[in-house]
Amino acid sequence: MSNFPILDLVAGLIFVYFLLSIISSSAVEIVLTLSKTRAKVLEAWLRRIFSETVTIPGKDGPKEVTLAEAIMDHCSTTALSGTKASTSYIDAKNFTSALIEKISYVQANPMAVPNSLASLSASIAASTGLSDELKRVFLLYASEASSTYSALATKTMSEMDLFRSKLEAWYDSSMDRITGTLKENHSRPLTFWLGLVIVFLLNADSISLSKYLYNNPEARTKLATAAYDASKDTIFQQKVQKIDIPKEASSKDSATLQQIKDSVASELKDLKEAKNALADVIPLGWSNNEFKKYSGFPLFLAVLLKIVGLFATTLAVMMGAPFWFDILNKVSNLRGSGKKPASATDKKKKS
């Protein structure tokens, strides 16, 4: 028998929250991929920031489009997205190349390209595709790049490279804010509602789970053992990294239909594996005598406790798998290097 029954109970609950969080994250990722939410958020930002018109070459002669549309349809960024639509992710270097190419395009001399920071600055100042605010910002970057280049004793990069690096840093900073918007307006609400549905369907009631584990030492031991093993399991570590690392380079939303199917299949596999892991260590689901577990309580109070237990689990799921995996590792380390909780087989051998 474990020398840390309360710690085992806590570790078991954390493991349940961790697995439920993986299920919820997989479900959220499926919805975001199929709805192309990332691409829509990025497109909304591009259209808001680059709303001015520019002239670009076309099959039937020059035409006017917004700078946002010109960037989204540029050969450096378009990937497999539709016309005048964004991919889910645009690399900073590709974005900068598309932006510079479009704002420096001259209809009278379409093959002319800026070959110095001075000529590029002139193109920026004369561009119709940038708002006055963006012009001032980009011209400021150009001035800073020129000053930095002049101050360098050993010139390992050109003025243009310095300017491009400033544009890339500005773009990356904007993408960080867009990621925050995506989480705030889409991922978190989806996580809550999908988490609530998952918790309800599985009847993952924190109060009932705690009572069950407290009154069943063998189940508590089995769950705690699985929890401690999971904290060192490389497969679970990879799942956490997959959730924790932004999906910026995957471009799932602009992938081919087969790639989208493969992505959804991968998330479904993670979802099923997490559900099976839960089923192996603890009974979940609804029963006909569900509220008999609250014998001695009035029906309204039993229903209230059930709602509170389900809602508590939902809030725990919203914390995310990386959070619970980190907590599980800390609890595992707190337990120290002592023996693992004894299994039922070990107990029988001792007796």
Q: What is the pLDDT of residues 164-177, one digit of tens each?
A: 999 999 999 999 89
| Selection from 75, 100, 90, 76 nearest residue 45 by Cα | 90
Q: What percent of the chain has pLDDT over 90?
A: 29
> Residue 194 has what pLDDT?
92
The Cα–Cα gap between 36 and 325 comes to: 28
Residue 342 has pLDDT above 90, yes or no: no
Query: Distance of CA 212 to CAs 197, 219, 224, 312, Å?
Result: 22, 8, 13, 16
The Cα–Cα gap between 17 and 13 comes to: 6
Angle among Cα 238, 325, 304 to the nearest 5 degrees reads 130
Would you place residue 191 in the very low, low, confident or very high pLDDT band (cuts 50, 70, 90)?
very high
Residue 64 has pLDDT above 80, yes or no: yes
Q: Rounding to the nearest 10 degrees, give the CA dihedral for residues 216, 218, 224, 225.
A: -170
Six-digit token string for 176: 């960080």
The Cα–Cα gap between 158 and 65 comes to: 32
| Selection from 272, 281, 304 nearest residue 198 by Cα | 272
The Cα–Cα gap between 350 and 39 comes to: 60
Q: What is the pLDDT of residues 120-159, one digit of tens each?
A: 999 999 888 899 999 999 999 999 999 998 888 778 888 9
Contact 42, 48 (CB under 8 A): no
* Across 1-23, average pLDDT: 82
Residue 328 has pLDDT above 60, yes or no: yes
Contact 6, 214 (CB under 8 A): no
Rounded to whole angstroms, the maximal C-alpha distance in the chain is 94
Would you place residue 318 in the very low, low, confident or very high pLDDT band (cuts 50, 70, 90)?
very high
Burial of 269 (0-12, 13-18, 19+ CB in 10 A): exposed
The Cα–Cα gap between 85 and 80 comes to: 10
Residue 338 has pLDDT above 60, yes or no: no
Angle among Cα 239, 240, 244 to the nearest 5 degrees reads 125
| Selection from 4, 6, 45 nearest residue 213 by Cα | 6
Question: 10 Å Cβ neighbour count for 10?
Answer: 20
Residue 1 has pLDDT above 60, yes or no: no
For the chain, domain boundaries: 5-38+179-350, 39-173
Q: What is the pLDDT of residues 233-266, one digit of tens each?
A: 887 787 787 776 544 434 444 444 455 556 666 6
> Residue 251 has what pLDDT?
42
Query: Distance of CA 184 to CAs 27, 174, 319, Å?
Result: 17, 15, 13
The Cα–Cα gap between 24 and 103 comes to: 43
Q: What is the pLDDT of residues 211-226, one digit of tens each?
A: 888 888 888 888 888 8
- Residue in this structure with the two tokens 């490389």, named with its chain if needed: 234
> Residue 249 has what pLDDT?
39
> Residue 307 has what pLDDT?
92
pTM for the model = 0.74
* Across 180-188, average pLDDT: 89
The Cα–Cα gap between 185 and 179 comes to: 10
Would you place residue 199 in the very low, low, confident or very high pLDDT band (cuts 50, 70, 90)?
very high
Residue 201 has pLDDT above 60, yes or no: yes
> Residue 293 has what pLDDT?
66
* Across 78-88, average pLDDT: 72
> Residue 195 has what pLDDT?
92
- Residue in this structure with the two tokens 């050993």, named with its chain if needed: 154
